[in-house]
């Protein structure tokens, strides 16, 4: 039997881990860390750093193994099918890693960026694995990039009594501003989709890159006034680090 713990670790700051997450990391027999390849190995390095800090002096130290993530096939035209195929491939890699490093069963932990519930597919991949091997799953929540964003800017997520919609850059580009909601959180946006909004006057933006990390960058203001600054800053940061993760809050007058 495999006992799988999906451990939310926040957004790169070791202080973001809850006491429950710390206990879970220390209790594992094996920690599996994904490596997304050159240019994104900072993420694997941060996970390694978190483990090193948590396990120093601990009576029990799990083995820590990195594995290479499969690359999503860009040739598949249908987006949903492309993602499903990718998740199938990742589940196969997980299964192979468990067979190689935990053949007799035991406890294994995956350190999930942010929280496993929010625009993360680790639980979906784990369900694929559950269909193949005897497994029990436990989920430990973590601080999300949304929490890190609003804390960095010192702003509330919602206005009084009003809803908030969390969506993606892809949907903002294709569908525009959703009806019935004046506050949006935009995630997974590699194309700065706020540029697609018509007449952005009256819209404010709170934008963060590497939220919660030591190299966090924050810009806020009226969208039409700070848009160019965000585009320039984002391009330079991506060039400097080889990768970027950013998130932003958009608000318009009701």
CA dist., res. 215 & res. 13, Å (int): 11
Task: Tell me what pLDDT residue 200 has.
Answer: 66
Could you tell me which of 43, 25, 62 has the C-alpha nearest to residue 213? 43
Could you tell me which of 88, 60, 85 has the C-alpha nearest to residue 73? 85
The superfamily CATH assigns to domain 2-140 is: Tetrapyrrole methylase, N-terminal domain (3.40.1010.10)
| Boundaries of every domain in the chain | 2-140, 145-252
- Per-residue pLDDT tens listing for the chain (254 residues): 899 999 999 887 888 899 999 999 999 999 999 887 665 567 788 888 888 888 887 778 899 989 888 887 777 778 888 888 889 999 999 999 999 999 999 999 999 999 999 988 899 999 998 888 899 999 999 999 999 999 999 999 998 889 999 999 999 999 999 988 999 999 999 999 999 988 667 899 999 999 988 889 999 999 999 999 999 999 999 998 888 899 999 999 86
Q: pTM for the whole thing?
A: 0.85
User: Which CATH number applies to 145-252?
Assistant: 3.30.950.10
């Amino acid at each position: 039997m495999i006992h799988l713990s999906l451990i939310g670790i926040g957004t790169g700051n070791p202080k973001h881990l809850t006491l429950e997450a710390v206990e879970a990391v220390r209790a594992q027999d094996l920690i599996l860390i994904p490596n997304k390849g050159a240019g994104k190995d900072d993420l694997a390095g941060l996970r390694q750093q978190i483990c090193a800090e948590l396990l120093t002096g601990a009576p029990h130290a799990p083995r820590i193994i990195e594995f290479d993530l499969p690359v999503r096939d860009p040739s598949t035209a249908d987006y949903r099918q492309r993602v499903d195929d990718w998740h199938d491939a990742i589940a196969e890699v997980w299964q192979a890693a468990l067979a190689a490093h935990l053949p007799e069963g035991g406890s294994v932990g995956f350190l999930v960026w942010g929280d496993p519930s929010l625009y993360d597919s680790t639980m979906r991949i784990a369900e694929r694995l559950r269909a193949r091997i005897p497994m029990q799953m436990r989920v430990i929540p973590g601080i999300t990039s949304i929490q890190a964003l609003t804390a960095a800017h010192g702003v509330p997520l919602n206005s009084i009594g009003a809803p908030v919609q969390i969506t993606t850059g892809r949907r903002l580009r294709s569908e525009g501003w959703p009806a019935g909601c004046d506050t949006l959180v935009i995630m997974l946006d590699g194309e700065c989709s706020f540029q697609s909004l018509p007449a952005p006057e009256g819209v404010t933006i709170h934008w963060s890159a590497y939220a919660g990390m030591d190299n966090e960058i924050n810009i806020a203001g009226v969208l039409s006034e700070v848009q160019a600054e965000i585009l320039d800053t984002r391009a330079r940061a991506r060039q400097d680090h080889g990768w970027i993760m950013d998130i932003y809050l958009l608000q318009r007058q009701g």
